[in-house]
Amino acid sequence: MTLADVPEAERISDEGFFELDSRTRRLDGPEPQRRSDPHREVWMRRTRHFVETDPGGCWVAEDETGLVGMATSYRRETLWCLATYAVLPGRQGQGIGKPLMAAAMSHGRGCTRAMLSASSDTRAVRVYHQAGFQLHPQMYLTGTLDRSAIPTVDKVREGTASDFELMDSLDRAARGAGHGPDHELMLSTWRLLVSDTSTGSGYAYLNERGSLALLAASNRRTATRLLWAALADGPDEATISHVTGANQWVLDVGFAARLALHQEGYLALRGMKPPSPYVHNGALL
């Protein structure tokens, strides 16, 4: 993939995920939606970042009609992550996706750990299992936030780039590798909250919709404090995404806030256990 391919790759991923959402929609779930213009911008910015930091990890498949598939992946220290992976609807199940995944994975040779957030797509999970990934179900908490349940939150402040060293240390403890250059991208797009006390430290990013995008902490107490702070400042219609079974503390908070629980997709891991206390991001893991 080159920088010039990014807008076309965005279209493929939008079509791929819209079709997937329409095909796998829960009866009580929200109506599937195309990516909004602001979200499209965030997606393209992030993908350009991966092409720049990891040109060898980003691939497209093309034929005479143009691009038909894409995969973006990156290495951070000894960890390889798959950010996005999609084949155009109508062209899926024809052997395009597997070689794309193989090309992206060749970029991760020499990494001892690997991580990706998988959809529930039957082909995707088959490919990941065959590639040696263990699949850990992901939970989601959604609903109207009960603001009367929010406790008084202190010892949380706005974060800055001077916190990156601490944050990379927390990342290393949780997932074996710092986010490195991804912190610059996230801080330029999202809001950063930090808690750093004598008993524990942690951080949380809130995405462009005000929802939790990523959280890491040295203990559950600090993680819980950050999650409440994120919910307090977030929208009334709250979403906490990508919760693994190793992070039951998130359910304590989510149920106290009267959110509803459901399940979607998997955290796929190789060479590591589900990070905790940690809430991963879908693409920046």
Ligand X SMILES: CC(C)(COP(=O)(O)OP(=O)(O)OC[C@H]1O[C@@H](n2cnc3c(N)ncnc32)[C@H](O)[C@@H]1OP(=O)(O)O)[C@@H](O)C(=O)NCCC(=O)NCCS
The residue (of 127 and 156) whose beta carbon lies closer to ligand X is: 127
The residue (of 124 and 240) whose beta carbon lies closer to ligand X is: 124
The footprint of ligand X on this chain (CB under 6 A) covers a number of residues equal to 21
Q: For 108, which DSSP code?
A: T
For the record, the structure tokens of 103 come out as 């090309």
Q: Is residue 22 at the binding interface for ligand X, with CB under 6 A as the rule? A: no
Contact residue for ligand X among 95, 148, 162, 236 (CB under 6 A): 95
For the record, the structure tokens of 95 come out as 């052997």
The residue (of 13 and 218) whose beta carbon lies closer to ligand X is: 13
The residue (of 56 and 99) whose beta carbon lies closer to ligand X is: 99
Instruction: Quote the least distance from Cβ 121 to ligand X, whole Å.
Output: 3
Contact residue for ligand X among 93, 137, 235, 245 (CB under 6 A): 93
Binding mask 30-69 for ligand X (x = CB under 6 A): ----------------------------------------
For the record, the structure tokens of 283 come out as 């693409």
Element (H, E) at 149: none
For the record, the structure tokens of 213 come out as 């995008």
Provide the b/e sequence for 118-146 (b: ≥16 CB within 10 Å): bbebeebbebbeebebeebebbbbbeebe
Contact 165, 189 (CB under 8 A): no
Q: Is residue 105 at the binding interface for ligand X, with CB under 6 A as the rule? A: no
Q: Is residue 20 at the binding interface for ligand X, with CB under 6 A as the rule? A: yes
Residue nearest to ligand X (CB): 97
Q: Is residue 118 at the binding interface for ligand X, with CB under 6 A as the rule? A: yes
Q: What is d(CA 136, CA 173) in angstroms, rounded to the nearest whole number? A: 19
Can you list the alpha helix ranges (DSSP code H) found in the chain? 6-24, 37-53, 97-106, 122-130, 164-175, 181-189, 220-233, 248-256
Residues that bind ligand X (CB under 6 A): 16-17, 20, 85-87, 92-98, 118-119, 121-124, 126-127
